[in-house]
Structure formats: C-alpha cells, structure tokens
A and B are shown apart, each in its own frame.
Chain A
Amino acid sequence: KAGVTQTPRYLIKTRGQQVTLSCSPISGHRSVSWYQQTPGQGLQFLFEYFSETQRNKGNFPGRFSGRQFSNSRSEMNVSTLELGDSALYLCASSIYGLAGLDTQYFGPGTRLTVL
C-alpha cells in the first residue's frame, strides 16, 4: 500500500503571498490531519478533516484553512504568508481519525520557507 504523499516537498514563497499544499492519504483512510512542525514549537495541530468535514481545529489564525475532497485528498492553504509561517507542514491519515483506536500515518511533509 502506498504511504501518505505530500506535494510539493519544498516551497519558497515571499511574505504576503499565499500557498496551497496537497496531501494524498493512504487508500481507504478517511481522516486527514495537518500539523505544523517548527524547532521552537514542535508539532502543532492545525486541523482534521473526516469525510470532507472539518472535525477538529487547532489554535491557528484564519489565514490557515483547509479542505478535503470526496476521494479523501486534502489541501491546506495559507494566505498572506508571514515569516513565522516557515515550517515543515505534515499531513497524517488514518481510517477513522480516532486517536488510540487507529494509527495515524504521517507523510514526509512539505518544507515551506517564507522570505
């Protein structure tokens, strides 16, 4: 079975621009979660989608948004980029999205650099 794939792997943007990141979950997985990873803050939860509905949301500003399509693929968008948005953005998929009941599998991440 193919793992979680994320595209692109690397992105360089400038302040004020917007960016869209894509995640393809493992086949059969209906839950997709997004995390921001930085050296100072560690792994921080952004949001989770299940069957095209946002089910959980972390404490990030409204500039961070996402969506999930009927094939479970997900995108996240960051508008009006700030320098502090430079991070590794990780996507994780699981069958039900219920921590402890099924395992989250992470993709390799998208490294976003904002100049």
Chain B
Amino acid sequence: QQQVKQSPQSLIVQKGGIPIINCAYENTAFDYFPWYQQFPGKGPALLIAIRPDVSEKKEGRFTISFNKSAKQFSLHIMDSQPGDSATYFCAASSPGGKLIFGQGTELSVKP
C-alpha cells in the first residue's frame, strides 16, 4: 500500500513532442505528490508538486494532472526540448511522512 508505481520506464520523443509519465498509488492518506528531475551525475531536484485538492497544476512547460478517484497522477512536458532529457521520478507522502518514490522514467528528447 506504500508503493508508487510509475510508467513507462523509458520514453523517447522528438523535440516539440509532449511526453507523458504516469504514476499510481494505493494509500489514500497520501496528500502530497511531487515530481523530481534528475540529470546524470546530479541528485534529483524538485520540479513541480500538487496536492489532491486540485486536478491540475502548471509551471512553465510542466503540468501535473491529478485524478483523485483513480489514484493516479501524471506529468506532461509541453514543447519538449533536448535539455529536458533526464530521469523523472514521481513521489508521494502522507502528512509528516517520508517521500515514497516511483521507479523513475528515463526521458530522451531527440533533436
């Protein structure tokens, strides 16, 4: 029940495409859902986060869609660029709890 399942494991898109990464969770106590971006040789960095009281949040070219009834959330990257090539992790936590991370998605954006 503590797991966060992320798909796909890897993703290749052309520049300008809209990669979509999906995550699903079971624990209804989770109330915080961040996405992290990790470049090779670096630690993960917080990209964008959402709480279950909203269905969508946008920050620049990054959008989180949240479906509370389905216990799913996803990351969309608009107008993707080669510089977006990285590994993306979704995560979830309950109030005051620790972050539970998905398995990660390796995104490659081809020029």
Contacts and interface: CB of A to CB of B under 8 A. Distances in A.
Interface string B81-111: 0000000010001011111111110000000
User: A interface, by DSSP: helix, strand, loop or mixed?
Assistant: strand
Contacts of A106: 36, 43-45
A50 to B, nearest CB: 11
A99 B89 contact: no
A38 to B, nearest CB: 10
B103 A42 contact: yes
B32 interface: yes
A25 interface: no
B98 A100 contact: no
A43 interface: yes
Contacts, number: 53
A48 B102 CA distance: 19
A42 B89 contact: yes
Residue of B41, B43, B95, B100 most packed against chain A (CB within 10 A): B43
Nearest to A107: B43
Chain B interface category by residue count: 20 to 34
B12 interface: no
Nearest to B41: A108
A90 B44 contact: yes
Chain A interface category by residue count: 20 to 34
Contact of B96 (A90, A98, A107, A108): A98
Given A92-B43, A100-B31, A42 B99 contact: no
Contacts of A33: 98
Given A45-B98, A48-B98, A99-B98, A4 B43 contact: yes
A66 to B, nearest CB: 14
A109 B44 CA distance: 10
Interface string B37-81: 000011111100101000000000000000000000000000000
Contact of B93 (A4, A92, A99): A99
Interface of B: 31-32, 36, 41-46, 49, 51, 89, 93, 95-104
10 contacts: A42-B102, A43-B89, A44-B101, A45-B100, A99-B93, A100-B32, A104-B46, A106-B45, A107-B43, A109-B43
